Amino acid sequence: MTYRTARLAAEELAARRDELLALCAQAFCGEPWHEPPLGAVRTVDRLLGSAGGRDDFTAVAALDAEEALLGFSAGWTDTALSGDAPAFELAELVVDPGHHGRGIGRRLHDELLLRAAPGPALLMTLDVPELTDRYTRWGWSVVDRQRPGRETREYVVMRRER
């Protein structure tokens, strides 16, 4: 399968809202997330809401030959995970489950970080080996464990120096 990556501006991402919803619903309904479809709506609305209000919003998409969305990564500079000093937050990295294992996620990850503001990067993900081991291989380290909001599952905050 051939695909290309492209930087997407916030407006371009918003124009693909339906594709984002479908992609996130597929990606988050299975292992390890087990999210209901409403979780995809919350994820996409949070992402698009953040995108519209941030000058440094960055998104990279993987697109197939017909320009269909295979995956995306997005982030911005924030203090939400650091608590003090601004750091680039890798907010989302999603790949269509039918295209896992092809290096798309790693490429989206790497291209997003190349386009991000210099300095450390942070992310928050579910504390399961499937996810934490992948990010560890990609140069991230666990710096904190949390249960955000009313969440019953534990999450990790990971950091990567760039």
Which tens digits make up the pLDDT trace of 24-46? 999 888 778 777 777 888 889 98
pTM of the model: 0.91
The tokens for 134 are: 């992948």
The answer to whether residues 128 and 32 touch, using CB atoms and an 8 Å cutoff, is yes
pLDDT tens per residue across span 49-97: 887 778 889 999 999 999 999 999 999 998 888 888 899 999 999 999 9
- Residue positions counted in the chain: 162
- Residue type (1 letter), 129: P
Q: Pairing state of beta strands 121-126 and 141-146?
A: unpaired
Q: 26-39 burial string, b = 16+ CB within 10 Å, else e?
A: bbbeeeebeeeeee
